[in-house]
Every structure is written in structure tokens, then in C-alpha cells.
């Protein structure tokens, strides 16, 4: 993400990341576009020498559930503000045994199980129908930067993984997680889609930075509690912020 100083890097913060410390804030703007009102204001600032635009996916304070986020308004607002490289930060459940609480994953693939979300810019009065290529949903060069910095920082992380996007807001059943595992999913999260596809439709370089906040349903003997999730957020978000800062600021 270096060498893009003049173009702002966009960061969409998820659960546990509603603001970015270390960001020297230079402004805030409320935006609306043809798709509606984004989840939060766009906060502009500098991370090192790099211009950054930050948006809180669930609003600030956290009030919009995953299935009611206006993903189109969010992605369009960042695009309109000049963002061409976009990092989506996602709290997820770990399905793969190596992906336990506070582990970081930079996924390379996804499977979409969500339904009923407005997931494309290509609808309404169109001149022609567009089918974007989505073979590789995450941008490889942006992924490489995150991976290099995660290695340098010595973080507990995985450089690959399949993100399974679920509808929420409830967590999954154990059988749903077993099915996802059979499908090849390593992670379960509620906000990865349609964000990734919308960014791709606008030709943006999109990457997801996932923090595992619990083992997915059925992967441990106990129920998943919000207190456990909060503890993993507290444990892991410091590393996520450091990784973001070092990757973006160069
Ligand atoms: N499933 C789906 N989304 C999540 C989870 C989970 O277990 N944990 C955090 N986000």
C-alpha cells in the first residue's frame, strides 16, 4: 500500500475497530450518494505520510447489524473520495484448528452464504449487463504487503484462508459450521460480502484483514459468549492496528 501517498488508502473498520489511534485526523465529512447514507462519517487523516480515509462499518457507536449495513453507500463513498486501495477489517470466527482467538488471517478466497443484501452496483437502468471477474476476490499485491509486515512483526497469522460470509446477526449452528468446513471455509464472518464484490465492481484493490475473535460454533465444547469475544478483541486488536499502521504507512 506504499507509494500511493497522494491517493488515500481506505480502511473500513469492523467490530472492535471504530477508530484508528495513531491516525492524525485532518478532517471529517458526512457523505451521501445515490445508494444512500454510509454507516459513518469518513474520517481523513495521515498514517505516517499516507493519506487515509476511515469508515466505521457498523457506525460509531456500533449500531448497524451486518445484514443492515448499506455496503453500497459505504464503498461508493470511499470510491468517490478517491480511494482505490481498500482494507476491510473483519472480526471472524475460526473454523480451521490453527485459527483460534486473537489469530490474524489475510484470506485469499471467500464463499458467500449471505442472502437478501444489495450486492451489486449493476442494477436499475443499465446500458448493458456487466459480470465482473471475481476469481480472486482479494488483491494480491495488497495481500503481499500485509503478509510481509505481519511476518516482520512476528505476529500469529495465516497468509491464506477461505472466508465464509454468513448472514447473521446470529452466530451459526454447529452443523452449519460443519457444512462450511466441508465446503472449504476456514473462517466465518458476517461482513465480508458484498463489500469485497462491490469494491471489485468499482475496480478497487480490496483486501480483508481478519481477526479471529472466537472458535466457530461447535469447535469447542462451550457456548460462544460475548465476553469471550470481547476478550479476544482486546487481545488481538492491538496487533491488527499495528499491522495496519505499518502496512499503510510503509
Ligand atoms: N461467525 C460469524 N461471524 C462472526 C463470528 C462467528 O463465529 N465471530 C465473529 N464474527
Over residues 223-249, the pLDDT tens digits come to: 999 999 999 999 999 999 999 999 998
- Dihedral sign, Cα of residue 102, residue 105, residue 110, residue 116: positive
> Distance from the CA of 180 to the center of ligand 1, in angstroms?
13
The pLDDT, as a whole number, for residue 16 is 78
User: Is the shortest distance between the CB of 93 and ligand 1 below 6 Å?
Assistant: yes
Q: Are 25 and 53 in contact (CB under 8 A)?
A: no
> Distance from the CA of 179 to the center of ligand 1, in angstroms?
15
User: Is the shortest distance between the CB of 190 and ligand 1 below 6 Å?
Assistant: yes
> Distance from the CA of 182 to the center of ligand 1, in angstroms?
17
User: Is the shortest distance between the CB of 214 and ligand 1 below 6 Å?
Assistant: yes
- Dihedral sign, Cα of residue 153, residue 158, residue 159, residue 162: negative
Q: Residue 7 has which C-alpha cell? A: 491517493
58 known ligand binder: yes
Q: Residue 187 has which C-alpha cell? A: 473462517
Interface predicted TM-score (ipTM) of this complex, two decimals = 0.99
Ligand 1 pocket test, pick from 14, 91, 232, 237 with the greatest ligand atom count within 8 Å of Cβ, gives 91
| CB atoms inside a 10 Å sphere around CB 209 | 24
User: Is the shortest distance between the CB of 211 and ligand 1 below 6 Å?
Assistant: no
Burial of residue 171 (CB within 10 Å: 0-12, 13-18, 19+) is middle
What contacts 125, CB < 8 A, 6 or more positions away?
none
> Distance from the CA of 21 to the center of ligand 1, in angstroms?
25
| CB atoms inside a 10 Å sphere around CB 234 | 12
User: Is the shortest distance between the CB of 181 and ligand 1 below 6 Å?
Assistant: no
| CB atoms inside a 10 Å sphere around CB 173 | 11
Closest atom, ligand 1, to C-alpha of 216: 7
Ligand 1 pocket test, pick from 213, 229, 232 with the greatest ligand atom count within 8 Å of Cβ, gives 213
> Distance from the CA of 178 to the center of ligand 1, in angstroms?
14
Question: 80-100: per-residue pLDDT in tens?
Answer: 999 999 999 999 999 999 999
The owner of cell 459450521 is 177
Q: Are 111 and 74 in contact (CB under 8 A)?
A: no
152 known ligand binder: no
Q: Rounded to whole angstroms, how far apart are CA atoms 72 and 130?
A: 16
Q: Rounded to whole angstroms, how far apart are CA atoms 233 and 145?
A: 23
- For residue 85, report the phi and psi dihedrals to the nearest 5 degrees: -120, 125
The pLDDT, as a whole number, for residue 3 is 45
> Distance from the CA of 29 to the center of ligand 1, in angstroms?
30
Q: Are 186 and 107 in contact (CB under 8 A)?
A: yes
Q: Are 202 and 148 in contact (CB under 8 A)?
A: no
This model's pTM is above 0.90: yes
Q: Rounded to whole angstroms, how far apart are CA atoms 222 and 164?
A: 22
What average pLDDT score do residues 26-42 get?
Answer: 94
The pLDDT, as a whole number, for residue 96 is 98
What average pLDDT score do residues 123-128 get?
Answer: 83
User: Is the shortest distance between the CB of 92 and ligand 1 below 6 Å?
Assistant: yes
Q: Residue 48 has which C-alpha cell? A: 505516517
Amino acid at each position: 500500500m506504499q507509494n500511493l501517498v497522494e491517493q488515500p488508502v481506505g480502511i473500513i473498520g469492523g467490530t472492535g475497530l471504530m477508530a484508528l489511534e495513531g491516525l492524525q485526523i485532518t478532517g471529517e465529512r458526512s457523505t451521501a450518494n445515490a445508494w444512500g447514507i454510509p454507516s459513518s462519517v469518513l474520517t481523513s487523516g495521515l498514517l505516517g505520510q499516507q493519506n487515509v480515509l476511515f469508515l466505521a462499518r457498523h457506525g460509531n457507536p456500533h449500531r448497524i447489524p451486518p445484514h443492515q449495513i448499506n455496503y453500497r453507500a459505504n464503498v461508493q463513498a470511499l470510491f468517490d473520495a478517491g480511494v482505490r486501495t481498500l482494507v476491510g477489517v473483519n472480526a471472524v470466527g475460526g473454523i480451521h484448528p490453527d485459527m483460534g482467538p486473537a489469530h490474524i488471517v489475510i484470506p485469499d478466497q471467500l464463499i458467500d452464504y449471505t442472502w437478501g443484501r444489495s450486492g451489486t452496483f449493476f442494477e436499475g437502468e443499465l446500458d448493458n449487463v456487466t459480470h465482473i471477474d471475481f476469481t480472486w476476490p482479494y488483491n494480491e499485491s495488497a495481500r503481499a504487503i500485509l503478509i510481509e509486515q505481519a511476518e516482520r512483526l512476528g505476529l500469529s497469522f495465516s497468509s491464506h484462508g477461505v472466508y465464509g460470509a454468513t448472514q447473521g446477526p446470529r452466530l451459526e449452528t454447529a452443523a452449519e459450521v460443519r457444512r462450511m468446513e466441508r465446503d472449504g471455509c476456514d473462517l466465518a464472518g458476517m461482513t465480508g460480502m458484498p463489500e469485497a464484490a462491490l469494491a471489485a465492481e468499482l475496480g478497487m484493490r480490496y483486501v480483508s484483514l481478519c481477526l479471529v475473535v472466537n472458535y466457530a460454533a461447535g469447535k469447542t465444547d462451550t457456548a460462544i459468549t460475548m465476553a469471550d469475544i470481547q476478550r479476544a478483541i482486546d487481545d488481538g486488536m492491538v496487533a491488527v492496528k499495528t499491522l495496519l499502521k505499518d502496512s499503510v504507512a510503509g
